[in-house]
């Protein structure tokens, strides 16, 4: 009776291997777009403690995923914009004896974009639980865009840097 009724379509690109070398522009939002991370004041972010923790944990992503680099990012009051660069080795070995799963494209999912984002979201959520912020939640999904050129990368970097200014324009309207 309910088969397929509650399934939502994926927002991911068909036939794209999210465990391959690429540069991604990622947006992650808090549940209900609640402003857990701070406020925009005079076109600048005034972070809460959680906003500072979220920034710190974002910068730690390369420590957990050696082939992922953080580029431009910003923690806004209710969302995070970030650029992640994946530069995966041609030969893959397990670092901790974990078994690797092969996806439908025949490549390993150990270093996928979804895994990186899920681990990041989990780290922020665990910090919240340890610090009496039990109500904190993320939106269940995230938005990503595969950046395909250096000119597009420049535009996205500018957008990320200027996001507090854009946010201020909406607040004044």
pLDDT tens digit sequence for 99-149: 444 444 444 456 789 999 999 999 999 999 999 999 999 999 999 999 999
pLDDT of residue 4: 54
With tokens 């420590």, the residue in question is 63
Q: What is the Cα–Cα distance from 81 to 76, expressed in whole angstroms?
A: 8
- Greater model confidence, 124 or 20: 124
Q: Could you tell me which of 84, 79, 83, 82 has the C-alpha nearest to residue 51?
A: 79
Average per-residue pLDDT in the chain?
82
Mean pLDDT, residues 140-167 taken together: 94
Q: What is residue 62's DSSP assignment?
A: H
All structural domains of the chain: 22-89+102-172 (3.30.70.1290)
- Greater model confidence, 77 or 103: 77
pLDDT of residue 98: 43
Mean pLDDT, residues 35-42 taken together: 95
Could you give the C-alpha distances from 26 to 51, 113, 130, 145, in angstroms and in order?
17, 9, 26, 7
């Amino acid at each position: 009776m309910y088969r397929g009724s509650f399934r939502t379509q994926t927002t991911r690109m068909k036939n794209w291997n999210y465990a391959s070398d690429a540069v991604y522009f990622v947006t992650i939002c808090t549940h209900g777009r609640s402003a857990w991370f701070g406020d925009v004041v005079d076109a600048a972010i005034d972070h809460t403690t959680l906003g500072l923790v979220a920034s710190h944990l974002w910068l730690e992503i390369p420590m957990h995923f050696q082939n992922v680099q953080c580029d431009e990012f910003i923690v806004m009051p209710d969302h995070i914009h970030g650029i992640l660069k994946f530069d995966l080795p041609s030969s893959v070995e397990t670092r901790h004896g974990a078994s690797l799963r092969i996806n439908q494209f025949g490549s390993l999912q150990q270093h996928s974009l979804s895994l990186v984002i899920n681990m990041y979201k989990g780290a922020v959520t665990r910090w919240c639980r340890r610090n009496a912020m039990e109500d904190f939640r993320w939106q269940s999904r995230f938005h990503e865009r595969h950046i395909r050129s250096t000119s597009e990368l420049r535009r996205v970097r500018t957008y990320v840097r200027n996001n507090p200014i854009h946010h201020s324009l909406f607040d004044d309207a």
